[in-house]
Each structure stands twice: as structure tokens, then as C-alpha cells.
Amino acid sequence: MNTIVRFIVRYQFFLLFLVLEAISFWMLGKHTYYQNSKFEDAYRVMSGHANQCISNATSYFSLKDVNDNLAQENLELKNRLAMLNAKYDALSNLLYDTLVSPGHNYTLARVVNNSVNKQYNYITLNVGAKNGICKEMGVITSQGIVGVVVGVSNHFCTVISLLNVDLKISAKLKSTNHFGSLFWNGTNYREVVLTDIPQHANINLGDTIVTSGYSSIFPADIELGTVSSIDSKDSNFHSLTVKLFLDFKQLNTVWAVSHKFENEQGKLESMLNN
């Protein structure tokens, strides 16, 4: 209390000035129509600016929920599109043709652990056996493939990343359908290598590389990246450097892909191999 009294005594003239100034502005605005309208205009401007700042801050902090909702809606649309395509094929062909039907289901997942700076990179997702996740399911995003599920617990799964020197997938040139083996050579996390492309294939820088669909893990024609360089040292095959569309350092929401006819296809192919 003594401190407050001393403060008031010390700054009494300044405080008196502020009080009188406030009274003057109040009387000026209260008794003069023109000044009153100006004060109201200024108040509305400041109030609107403050409300806008509050609204922007609230929108910013709600972005996570918005992104989660959009990802969920995207997942539902993918599954609905797959169902509609399947019905269309069934009606148009009377027989269900596994070559043209989507034949895939999608499960939304979030990345909880990720690495890009090792030779053997792995990713952990927040879905597991209780979400229908199994080993050897593919994992994709809207910008390309992420990897293949190699370990599953009740609530989590581990994925061997495309940025792992042990993983190879089948990919092809979108323009010519020439296919080869795509893998990461352990150097640049934004680039992979596509080998075994025949020398007679017509290749141009900037050509798009997509999944071939020759395995039950990934759907066909998922765009992966573009050709950034061509190595023709081998007399029989090209080796292409592919710049990925997907930035693994920004990986967040993904989809785990399951093939409806994987068991049927696998049994038939194993019989042929035997």
C-alpha cells in the first residue's frame, strides 16, 4: 500500500494530466456530433482489426484439425471411388475383371517416426493389426510411394522406406511403358535410380516415372517422379536418375494399401513357380 501511495505522490501531476485528458476526450466526443462520429469510426477500425487478429490466430491453431478432416475425407473419397469403379466394371462387363478394377482398399495413417539420413531408413505409422494392417502392404501418398510394411503390432507398424538401399520396386516410363527396377542408391534423398530400361526406348529428360502394377503391393500408374539424367554406359540398358515428387522430410499423412485379390494372385503365381 505504501508503495502505491508513493507512486501516486511521485507521479501525481502526470496521472492528473492523464485523467484530465481522458475527461476532455470524453466531453469532446460526447457533446460534439462530428467528433463523436470520428471516435466511433476509430473505435470500429480498431475493434475490427483486433477481431481480425483474433480470428487469424484461432484459424492458425485449428489448422491441424482442418488437415486431419481433409485427410479423412480424402480417404473416404478414395474408397468410394474404388467402389464406384468396381460397380461400373461389373455392370459393363458382367464379369469382374481384376485387370481394370481398382482392387485396393486404403487405410489412413500418420507418420510418428521417420528417418532419411541413413542407408537403411524405416518409418513408423500409428496404425497396426487392429486397423487391418498386414505385412507387405504398400504405403503411398498423393505424391508417390513411401515404402512397404515389414512389421506390425496391435497399434503400430514399421515400414521399410523407399529410401532404403534394400528395397526395390517395379516402375516404368509413363510414355512408353518400358519397365525396370527402381531403387535408392543411398546418396540424395530426393533422387532414386531406375535401371534395366532398354536402349531402344525413347526417353527424354522430364519424362514421368510411374509404378508398373506388376506386383500386388502397389497400384499401377502412381506417379513417382521425373527423369533428371540418363546414363547409357551399359550397351544394352539405360540407367535413369529420377527426381522424386515426394519430399520424405515433409512426410506426415499416408495411406496403407491392401490388394483385394492378393491371396488369389499369390496362390496362382506360386503354383506356376512350383
- Cβ of 13: how many Cβ atoms within 10 Å? 8
Predicted pLDDT at 171:
96
Residue type, 213: G
Which three cell numbers mark 18? 492523464
Residue 102 has pLDDT above 60, yes or no: no
Query: For 208-242, what is each residue's pLDDT tens digit?
Result: 999 998 888 898 899 999 999 998 776 788 999 99
Q: What is the pLDDT of residues 130-171, one digit of tens each?
A: 999 999 999 999 899 999 999 999 999 999 999 999 999 999
Residue range 104-113, pLDDT digits in tens: 788 899 999 9
pTM above 0.85, yes or no: no
Bigger pLDDT: 88 or 15? 15
Instruction: Pick 67 or 197 by higher pLDDT.
Output: 197
DSSP lists the bridge partners of residue 139 as 147, 256
Pull the grid cell for residue 48.
475490427
Q: What CATH fold (topology level) applies to the domain 103-273?
A: Thrombin, subunit H (2.40.10)
Closest by CA to 109, choosing from 257, 259, 253, is 253
Percent of the chain with pLDDT over 90: 46
Using one digit for the tens of pLDDT, what is the confidence trace for 185-210? 999 999 999 999 998 889 999 999 99
Q: How far is CA 266 from the centre of its chain?
A: 30
Determine contact, residues 138/262, Cβ cutoff 8 Å: no
Half-sphere CA count of 241, side-chain side, radius 13 A: 11
Band the pLDDT of 96: cuts 50, 70, 90: very low
Mean pLDDT of the chain: 81
pLDDT, position 214? 87
Q: What is the pLDDT of residue 266?
A: 60
User: What grid cell was written down for 262?
Assistant: 492378393
Please report the pLDDT score of residue 99 as a whole number.
36
